[in-house]
Amino acid sequence: MFCFVRSRLCPDLNFFQSKTDYPCSELFNQEDGFENLHKRIASTSLKVEIQPENSRFSSRSNRIRPSSDMFTRDNEYEILADGCEAHWEVVERILFVYSKLNSGQSYVQGMNEIIGPIYYTFANDPNQQWRGSRKTTNQSNDLFVLFRFRTRRSGHVLLFYKSNDSYSR
């Protein structure tokens, strides 16, 4: 039955922290040192982790900081090796492109929830070939087209126009 208390981060969404087999090679081959979101977040979270040591709330923040085995094993923003991408980065890119192409609608809170399960299904296709063959960005292309198709076709996208309005208050 459905859960009122949402506790589906583990193991459901842990998948998105893991490494994708089909990173976008174009991004990593750029000459001008493109800094991806992963690295930006890593540096930010590092800062946050150092700060509590000196603050007077250190005892409290120690408790909050993920210290248990479960968290250290699957560190949320664990830095992957160069040339690797986590699944969530692929999703982030799709949403970014979507918001740029649909500037009237842009990104609305909750879109990630719609794309999440769709992406999960694509990325776990039983047929290896379908997961992202031929071109490395194929998978995100397919997914992007599907996302757009789905939202447009069903008129579901109009719900998000609405949600845009009520969330921005």
Binding site for another protein (CB under 8 A): 1-3, 6, 8, 12-13, 104-105, 110, 113-114, 116-117, 120-121, 150, 153-156, 158-166
Closest contact distance (angstroms) between CB of 156 and another protein is 7
Query: Closest by alpha carbon to 97, among 167, 26, 15, 49?
Result: 26
Beta carbon nearer to another protein, 129 or 166: 166
Beta carbon nearer to another protein, 52 or 116: 116
Beta carbon nearer to another protein, 6 or 56: 6
Beta carbon nearer to another protein, 57 or 130: 130
Closest contact distance (angstroms) between CB of 124 and another protein is 10
Structure tokens at 12: 């459901």
Residue 23 CB: number of other CB atoms within 10 A? 20
Max CA-CA distance within the chain? 55
Q: Please report the sign of the dihedral spanned by the C-alpha atoms of residue 63, residue 67, residue 70, residue 75.
A: positive
Report the run of H or E that residue 22 belongs to, with start and end.
Answer: none
